[in-house]
């Protein structure tokens, strides 16, 4: 099911043992985070999720395909056990799991109450079932208290307005903000699913906008560290192609 499943890479990646494989999956998923959380939090969140999917290879594949295709591939639910109050704790912080992972891989500036599951999600958070789907592409972003129910929200790169501290979730805690050209949710370059390309090249989805060798030398040793000093961010709200407002 879920299409051909031949191009997602992990199945043909040789690995010596389960731990190494898990680390490889974590690394691959780290390459697609959107910069809304600092690296250590992201790593902990992804490690936690990958560990929970250890014995559910089909869901793990769904997650990898969903993330690496940036939603371009239709994928099934990716579920974890629901906690009593619904919150997941990662690195000492508590949050709702679908929000945590959607913020990680899709909407770095996600607010509360801005996610709505797509109709086909069978374990959506709001269903309050025993398992919760954390597939970021099983949720869509809405803006509460507004008729802009289908707006695009993006982070602009350097040259945008510098934030002092307008929003609590943009609090500077180290390498929180990551310069990116454009990180809304259009599908990534198809080449990232091609196993002929070294996975270390694409540490962020947006870097796939450049030829694969462009950033590889300068970033290869940096791995997932974000070296840029200072923090900056611009949030622009679009409805269709019309800019609605900018922070």
Partner DNA sequence: ATGCGGGCGCGCCCGCAT
Name the phi and psi angles at 95, rounded to 5: -165, 170
Residue 77 interacts with DNA (CB under 7 A): yes or no = no
Query: What are the start-end ranges of the E strands in the chain?
Result: 79-81, 88-90, 93-95, 115-117, 131-133, 139-141, 151-156, 234-239, 242-246
**Would you say 67 or 90 has its CB closer to DNA?**
90
Name the phi and psi angles at 76, rounded to 5: -85, 180
**Tokens linked to 182:** 């454009």
Q: What is the dihedral of CA 222, 228, 230, 231, to 10 degrees?
A: -90
Residue selected from 2, 87, 116, 181 as contacting DNA according to rule CB under 7 A: 87
* 67/29 Cα distance (integer angstroms): 7
Residue selected from 83, 122, 209, 228 as contacting DNA according to rule CB under 7 A: 83
**Would you say 43 or 138 has its CB closer to Zn ion?**
138
Residue selected from 48, 62, 70, 236 as contacting DNA according to rule CB under 7 A: 48
Binding site for Zn ion (CB under 5 A): 30-31, 77, 121, 133, 135, 138, 203
Residue 84 interacts with DNA (CB under 7 A): yes or no = yes
**Would you say 90 or 156 has its CB closer to DNA?**
90
* 30/216 Cα distance (integer angstroms): 16
Mind spelling out the 3-state secondary structure of 60-110?
Answer: HHHHHHHHHCCCCCCCCCCEEECCCCCCEEECCEEECHHHHHHHHHCCCCC
Residue 48 binding target from DNA, Zn ion, none, CB below 5 to 8 Å by type: DNA
Roughly what angle, to the nearest 10 degrees, separates helices 39-52 and 18-30?
130
**Would you say 54 or 57 has its CB closer to DNA?**
54
**Would you say 121 or 156 has its CB closer to Zn ion?**
121
* CA-based R_g, the chain, Å: 17
Instruction: Please give the size of the binding site for DNA, defined by CB under 7 A.
Output: 14
Scanning 26-34, 57-65, 90-98, 232-240 for contacts with DNA by CB under 7 A, the matching segment is 90-98
Residue selected from 30, 90, 188, 201 as contacting DNA according to rule CB under 7 A: 90
Residues 215-234 that bind DNA (CB under 7 A): none
Residue 94 interacts with DNA (CB under 7 A): yes or no = yes
Residues that bind DNA (CB under 7 A): 44, 48, 83-85, 87-94, 112
């Amino acid at each position: 099911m879920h299409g051909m499943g031949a191009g997602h890479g992990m199945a043909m990646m040789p690995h010596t043992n389960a731990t190494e494989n898990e680390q490889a999956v974590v690394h691959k998923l780290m390459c697609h985070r959107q910069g809304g959380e600092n690296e250590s939090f992201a790593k902990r969140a992804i490690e936690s999720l990958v560990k929970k999917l250890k014995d559910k290879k089909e869901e793990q594949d769904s997650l990898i395909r969903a993330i690496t295709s940036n939603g371009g591939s239709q994928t099934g639910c990716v579920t974890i056990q629901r906690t009593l109050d619904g919150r997941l704790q990662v690195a000492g912080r508590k949050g709702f799991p679908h929000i945590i992972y959607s913020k990680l891989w899709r909407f770095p500036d996600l607010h509360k109450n801005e996610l709505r599951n797509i109709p086909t999600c069978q374990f959506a958070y709001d269903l309050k079932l025993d398992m919760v789907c954390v597939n970021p592409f099983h949720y869509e972003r809405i803006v509460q208290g507004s008729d802009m129910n289908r707006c695009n929200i993006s982070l602009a790169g350097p040259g945008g307005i510098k934030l002092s501290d307008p929003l609590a979730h943009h609090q500077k805690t180290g390498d929180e903000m990551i310069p990116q050209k454009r990180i809304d949710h259009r599908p990534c370059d198809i080449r990232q699913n091609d196993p002929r390309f070294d996975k270390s090249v694409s540490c962020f989805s947006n870097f796939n906008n450049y030829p694969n060798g462009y950033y590889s030398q300068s970033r290869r040793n940096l791995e997932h560290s974000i070296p840029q000093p200072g923090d900056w961010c611009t949030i622009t709200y679009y409805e269709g192609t019309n800019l609605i407002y900018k922070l």
